[in-house]
């Protein structure tokens, strides 16, 4: 009986550590995706009238979508503080894993599909 309890205890313990490790890996990939989006911004979307920040990316791979949360504000005049006057979300579709957002060759760049979807969304927000 004691052997069964010890085996059960270690099984549960390893299950929790495996879950924690998987959760850390997901969080790491999520942060890489946000960093890639932020990196692209400096050379693309943030070159226009608006500056953007992207605080959160929430993915539901079962539904094959991710929601990118952003704040936007007109670029401040020199010496002024950035004012974030808008916030919104962009949907990224056809996403089964972070590999559909991050280019598999570099792991640090956006895929063409995710780049195009975010660009279309942000351009639509600026017009609207």
7-11 average pLDDT score:
49
pLDDT given at position 29: 87
Torsions phi, psi of 82, nearest 5?
A: -65, 130
The span from the CA of 118 to the CA of 124, in Å, is 10
Question: What is the maximum alpha-carbon separation in the chain?
Answer: 73
The span from the CA of 20 to the CA of 10, in Å, is 15
The span from the CA of 75 to the CA of 53, in Å, is 12
What value does the CA radius of gyration of the chain take, rounded to a whole number of Å?
A: 20
The span from the CA of 110 to the CA of 35, in Å, is 10
15-28 average pLDDT score:
54
Residue 7 pLDDT > 90 = no
Q: Which band of pLDDT confidence, cut at 50, 70 and 90, is reported for residue 94?
A: very high
pLDDT given at position 104: 77
35-61 average pLDDT score:
89
Which DSSP category does 108 fall into? Answer: S
DSSP string, 53-81: EEEEEEEETTTTEEEEEEEEEEPPPTTPP
In terms of pLDDT, which residue wins out, 26 or 60? 60
Q: Which band of pLDDT confidence, cut at 50, 70 and 90, is reported for residue 4?
A: low
Residue 123 pLDDT > 80 = yes
pLDDT given at position 16: 43
Q: Is the dihedral of CA 27, 29, 34, 38 positive or negative?
A: positive
Among 7-21, 28-42, 68-82, the least confident range: 7-21
Q: What is the pTM of this model?
A: 0.75
């Amino acid at each position: 009986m004691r052997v069964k309890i010890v085996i059960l205890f270690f099984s549960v313990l390893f299950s929790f550590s495996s879950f924690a490790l998987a959760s850390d890996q997901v969080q790491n990939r999520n942060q890489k995706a946000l960093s890639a989006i932020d990196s692209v911004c400096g050379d693309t979307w943030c070159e226009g009238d608006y500056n953007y920040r992207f605080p959160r990316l929430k993915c539901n791979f079962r539904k094959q979508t991710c929601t990118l949360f952003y704040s936007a504000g007109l670029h401040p005049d020199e010496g002024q503080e950035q004012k974030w006057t808008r916030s919104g979300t962009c949907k990224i579709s056809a996403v089964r894993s972070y590999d559909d957002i991050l280019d598999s060759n570099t792991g640090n760049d956006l895929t063409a599909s995710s780049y195009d979807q975010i660009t279309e969304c942000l351009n639509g927000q600026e017009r609207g």
